[in-house]
């Protein structure tokens, strides 16, 4: 029998129980005391090194993730001080903002690794309010850390704001594109230029690689970078470019190690704290929206005797 | 000389000054006392009837908006009780979440109407924080109302969360698709099924119309609707289907008129108030994030002696 108590589960997970690990991740997907206890335990242990992959559906992220897993396990370390013999993989498909349920559909992925004892793969979904994933993913990464994972991959589908938000909370963020992928505007608008540490042009056996690379370089030329994002060409289906991609990951990691890591982790921590603060404040909005004072303000708005800014001020000063 | 004071500007705008109207909309794009004063005045006047159009780039929204403007002006009213002799059009291109500036690019649109005195066209951009547009658009609509516009169109590019958010705050929301447009998942994930009052299959002279219509119908069959969204086929470039689209808009408006309008407007008002409440609370997060107490909590997080939930609680109880 698997226990239900976070502390016991954490002990089991750190001894290698995948069932216990899975249950702890389920806890951080939902809200409540189990989430709070799990977080309290997990944040005592440092985060794994996190590699994030994001890109539009069909860009070939799953196949590429597959290749990265194989290469990472074969290499076994970033350097003499940072080894890994297992990898945690979180697959994220941000759900509809309205229906509140993730559509993972028939996502059959990374089948070879699913039975590999060195790989833990988990699809994550929100079990609650909007934005739940952007809180749950960092927590799940810490749970992986507490279960002795020192390397984690987060694969996120899509290039919307939430996907970018999740992917960019990684240590190394990889944006997967394809030849002829969108126009320059698209990448710029989605904020990908600001978050990518590495751009991958996957399916690089197709026409248009040179143009896509040139477009990316031109956009990067417009910015000022402490770290100028690397551009790597891959054909994930055949494995071409996988080694180059891994080397790029190591290169970015070495860059961070070279005096930037503390600042980077502090930035990541601030971002997580801001997200939790926002979530807590949002739940206050929801509470406010249930009260009589709120309905009184809505009535006043409909009658044209106030505006939303004065109404909000009135509500917050009362609460 | 055009004045700068919102009250004077509002008087001029309601007498027909487009310059005054434009300046008031600039006020609601930014934050500060001019925004607050403009909102206070604008919310005294009922909202125009708002038709929202959204869809992916390239779906043909601008051309379709063009056709709707022409048809609406030719008809001149929804019924004997609700006429319009001018139309306000807001063109929204939500900006990158990271760069904070809208990329309107070389968007040259609706050229025929730009010089028509019965049409006021305005592109809107955020001048501030993320989410600014979702506050500024409803305010700009109320400014249009105060300037005697009884009909407004909001055209939004994209099908991300913010676009859907903006489009769905209309009275009648039109989602523009194309034959072969995405798969069923795409519409479902973007939350479009939940917000669309009318689906347009534009470019209906291309292959795949029947399949797209069938897909939409099947998805709609899965839901429970008070108002089952209409599906209209158009070829905006030739004008085919424009009358049918207008009739669909009128049909949805009549549906609202038939006992649903008050509830609909209350829902819209609640949503606006919630957005303002969120924005105010977010600015509190930003203020919190500037303090010493915040850095102390980040230090504690990095040291592994707290977790983001306890840290947030500590900060909020102190503030």
Determine the distance in angstroms separating the CA of A158 from the nearest CA of chain B, rounded to an integer. Answer: 10
Determine the distance in angstroms separating the CA of B141 from the nearest CA of chain A, rounded to an integer. Answer: 13
Q: What is the pLDDT of residues B259-309, one digit of tens each?
A: 999 999 999 999 899 888 888 887 877 788 888 999 999 999 999 999 999
Q: How far is CA B108 from the centre of its chain?
A: 20
A contacts of B219 (beta carbons < 8 Å): none
State the DSSP H helix or E strand holding residue B156, giving kind and residue range, or none if neither: strand B151-157
pLDDT band at A112 (very low <50, low <70, confident <90, very high): low
Complex ipTM, two decimals?
0.83
Residue-averaged pLDDT of chain B: 85
Overall average pLDDT of the B149-161 stretch: 86
Q: Is the pLDDT of residue A49 over 50?
A: yes
Give the whole-angstrom CA distance, residue A244 versus residue A250: 10
Interface with chain B: mutation pick from A44, A158, A276, A277, highest number of B CBs within 10 Å: A277
Q: Is the pLDDT of residue B14 over 90?
A: yes
Q: What is the pLDDT of residues B217-273, one digit of tens each?
A: 988 888 888 899 999 999 999 999 999 999 999 999 999 999 999 999 999 999 899
Instruction: State residue B258's pLDDT score.
Output: 92
* DSSP state at residue B104: -
User: Which tokens hold the place of A310?
Assistant: 């004065």
Instruction: State residue A186's pLDDT score.
Output: 58
Does residue B188 contact residue B215 with C-beta atoms inside 8 Å? no
Q: Give the closest of B189, B285, B302 to A274, CB-based.
A: B285
Does residue A34 contact residue B309 with C-beta atoms inside 8 Å? no
Q: Give the closest of A96, A274, A304 to B46, CB-based.
A: A304
Give the whole-angstrom CA distance, residue A18 versus residue A289: 41
Instruction: State residue B135's pLDDT score.
Output: 85
pLDDT band at B166 (very low <50, low <70, confident <90, very high): confident
Determine the distance in angstroms separating the CA of B253 from the nearest CA of chain A, rounded to an integer. Answer: 19
Pairing state between β A49-55 and A77-79: unpaired
Interface with chain B: mutation pick from A187, A307, A318, highest number of B CBs within 10 Å: A307
* DSSP state at residue A226: S
Instruction: State residue A110's pLDDT score.
Output: 53
Instruction: State residue B105's pLDDT score.
Output: 32
Of the listed ranges A16-20, A21-25, A123-127, B154-158, the least confidently predicted one is A123-127
Degrees to nearest 5, angle at CA B116 with B114 and B121: 40
Q: Give the closest of B103, B270, B306 to A298, CB-based.
A: B270
pLDDT band at B104 (very low <50, low <70, confident <90, very high): very low
* DSSP state at residue A179: T
Interface with chain B: mutation pick from A273, A288, A302, A303, highest number of B CBs within 10 Å: A273
- Does the distance separating the beta carbons of B105 and A39 come in below 8 Å? no
Q: Is the pLDDT of residue A226 over 70?
A: yes
Q: Is the pLDDT of residue A142 over 80?
A: yes
Pairing state between β B198-201 and B87-92: unpaired
pLDDT band at A187 (very low <50, low <70, confident <90, very high): low
Angle between the A308-318 and B261-288 helix axes, to the nearest 10 degrees? 60
- At residue A143, φ and ψ (nearest 5 deg) are -60, -40
Q: What is the pLDDT of residues A62-91, one digit of tens each?
A: 899 999 999 999 999 999 999 999 999 999
Does residue B203 contact residue B174 with C-beta atoms inside 8 Å? no
Pairing state between β A87-92 and A151-157: parallel
Instruction: State residue B186's pLDDT score.
Output: 58
- For B38, the 3-state DSSP assignment is helix
A contacts of B304 (beta carbons < 8 Å): 43-46
Give the whole-angstrom CA distance, residue B135 versus residue B139: 7
Determine the distance in angstroms separating the CA of A228 from the nearest CA of chain B, rounded to an integer. Answer: 17
Q: Is the pLDDT of residue B106 over 70?
A: no
pLDDT band at A164 (very low <50, low <70, confident <90, very high): confident
Q: What is the pLDDT of residues B44-91, one digit of tens each?
A: 999 999 999 988 888 899 899 999 999 999 999 999 989 999 999 999
Q: Is the pLDDT of residue A107 over 50?
A: no
Please indicate whether residue A115 or residue B223 has the higher confidence score (pLDDT): B223
Q: How far is CA B94 from the centre of its chain?
A: 10
pLDDT band at B181 (very low <50, low <70, confident <90, very high): low
- The domains found in chain A, sorted by start residue, are 45-261 (3.40.50.300), 276-318 (no CATH)
Question: DSSP secondary structure string, B267-319?
Answer: HHHHHHHHHHHHHHHHHHHHHHTTSHHHHHHHHHHHTTS--HHHHHHHHHHH-
Overall average pLDDT of the B165-174 stretch: 86
Q: Is the pLDDT of residue A126 over 80?
A: no
Q: Is the pLDDT of residue B3 over 90?
A: no
Residues forming a β-bridge with A177:
A201
User: Which tokens hold the place of A317?
Assistant: 């000063």
Residues forming a β-bridge with A89:
A121, A153
pLDDT band at A261 (very low <50, low <70, confident <90, very high): very high
Instruction: State residue B31's pLDDT score.
Output: 80
Instruction: State residue A181's pLDDT score.
Output: 63
* Number of cross-chain residue pairs from A and B with Cβ atoms under 8 Å apart: 169
pLDDT band at A274 (very low <50, low <70, confident <90, very high): confident
Give the whole-angstrom CA distance, residue B265 versus residue B260: 9
Does residue A36 contact residue A139 with C-beta atoms inside 8 Å? no
Q: Is the pLDDT of residue A128 over 70?
A: no
Overall average pLDDT of the A146-173 stretch: 86
Instruction: State residue B94's pLDDT score.
Output: 66
Interface with chain B: mutation pick from A97, A143, A162, A190, highest number of B CBs within 10 Å: A97
Determine the distance in angstroms separating the CA of B39 from the nearest CA of chain A, rounded to an integer. Answer: 6
Q: Is the pLDDT of residue B30 over 80?
A: yes
- Does the distance separating the beta carbons of A311 and B289 come in below 8 Å? no
Give the whole-angstrom CA distance, residue A81 versus residue A261: 15
* Residues in contact with A139: Cβ distance below 8 Å, sequence separation at least 6, in sequence order: A28, A35, A38, A39, A42
Neighbours of B222 (CB within 10 A): 9
B contacts of A190 (beta carbons < 8 Å): 96
Instruction: State residue A105's pLDDT score.
Output: 33
pLDDT band at B113 (very low <50, low <70, confident <90, very high): low
Strands (E), chain A: 49-55, 77-79, 82-83, 87-92, 119-124, 151-157, 172-177, 198-201, 230-233
Per this entry, what is the length of chain B?
319
Give the whole-angstrom CA distance, residue A241 versus residue A213: 15
Overall average pLDDT of the A246-265 stretch: 95
Q: Is the pLDDT of residue A143 over 70?
A: yes
Give the whole-angstrom CA distance, residue B90 versus residue B169: 13
Q: Give the closest of B191, B266, B269 to A96, CB-based.
A: B191
**Share above pLDDT 70 across residues of chain B, in percent, rounded to a whole number:** 87
Q: Give the closest of A43, A273, A289 to B312, CB-based.
A: A273
A contacts of B277 (beta carbons < 8 Å): 285, 288-289, 312, 315-316
Give the whole-angstrom CA distance, residue B145 versus residue B264: 18
Pairing state between β A77-79 and A82-83: antiparallel
Overall average pLDDT of the B126-132 stretch: 55
Overall average pLDDT of the A32-39 stretch: 91
Nearest to A180 by CA among A218, A202, A212: A212
- Sign for the pseudo-dihedral over CA of A88, A91, A94, A95: negative
Q: Is the pLDDT of residue B318 over 70?
A: yes
Give the whole-angstrom CA distance, residue A76 versus residue A78: 7
Q: What is the pLDDT of residues A12-27, one digit of tens each?
A: 999 999 999 999 999 9
Determine the distance in angstroms separating the CA of A274 from the nearest CA of chain B, rounded to an integer. Answer: 7
- For A52, the 3-state DSSP assignment is strand
Q: Give the closest of A39, A160, A288 to B307, CB-based.
A: A39
3-state secondary structure A234-294: CECCCCECHHHHHHHHHHHHHHHHCCCHHHHHHHHHHHHHHHHHHHHHHHHHHHHCCCHHH
Q: How far is CA A309 from the centre of its chain?
A: 34
Q: Is the pLDDT of residue A306 over 50?
A: yes
Neighbours of A177 (CB within 10 A): 26
- For A13, the 3-state DSSP assignment is helix
Residue-averaged pLDDT of chain A: 85
Q: Is the pLDDT of residue A222 over 70?
A: yes
Q: Is the pLDDT of residue A168 over 90?
A: no
Pairing state between β A119-124 and A77-79: unpaired
pLDDT band at A207 (very low <50, low <70, confident <90, very high): very high
Nearest to B126 by CA among B277, B270, B279, B10: B279
Nearest to A232 by CA among A221, A244, A240: A244
**Share above pLDDT 70 across residues of chain A, in percent, rounded to a whole number:** 87
Give the whole-angstrom CA distance, residue B190 versus residue A287: 26
Q: Give the closest of A191, A272, A310 to B99, CB-based.
A: A191
Neighbours of A256 (CB within 10 A): 18
Overall average pLDDT of the B2-15 stretch: 94
């Amino acid at each position: 029998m698997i226990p239900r108590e976070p502390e016991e589960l954490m002990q089991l997970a750190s001894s290698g129980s995948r069932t216990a690990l899975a249950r702890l991740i389920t806890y951080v997907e939902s809200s409540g005391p189990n989430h709070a206890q799990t977080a309290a335990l997990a944040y005592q242990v440092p985060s794994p090194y996190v590699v994030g992959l994001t890109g539009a559906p069909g860009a070939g992220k799953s196949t590429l993730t597959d290749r990265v897993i194989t290469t990472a396990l074969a290499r076994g370390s970033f350097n003499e001080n940072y080894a890994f013999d297992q990898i945690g993989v979180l697959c994220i498909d941000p759900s509809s903002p309205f229906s509140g349920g993730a559509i993972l559909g028939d996502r059959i992925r990374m089948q070879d690794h699913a039975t590999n004892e060195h790989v833990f793969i988990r699809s994550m979904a929100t079990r609650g309010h909007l934005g739940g994933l952007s809180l749950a993913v960092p927590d799940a990464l810490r749970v992986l850390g507490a279960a002795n994972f020192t390397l984690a991959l987060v694969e996120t589908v899509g290039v919307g704001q939430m996907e970018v938000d999740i992917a960019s909370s990684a240590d190394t963020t990889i944006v997967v594109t394809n030849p002829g992928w969108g126009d320059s505007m698209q990448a710029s608008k989605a904020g990908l230029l600001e978050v990518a540490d590495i751009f991958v042009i996957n399916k690089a056996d197709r026409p248009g690689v040179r143009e896509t690379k040139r477009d990316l370089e031109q956009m990067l030329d417009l910015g000022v970078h402490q770290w100028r994002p690397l551009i790597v060409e891959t054909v994930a289906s055949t494995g071409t470019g996988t080694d180059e991609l891994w080397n790029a990951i190591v290169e970015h990691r070495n860059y961070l190690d070279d005096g930037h890591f503390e600042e980077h982790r502090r930035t990541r921590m601030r971002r997580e704290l801001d997200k939790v603060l926002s979530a807590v404040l949002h739940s206050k909005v929801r509470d406010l929206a249930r009260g009589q004072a709120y309905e009184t303000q809505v009535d006043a708005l409909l009658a044209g005797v106030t505006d939303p800014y004065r109404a909000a001020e009135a509500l917050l000063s009362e609460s």
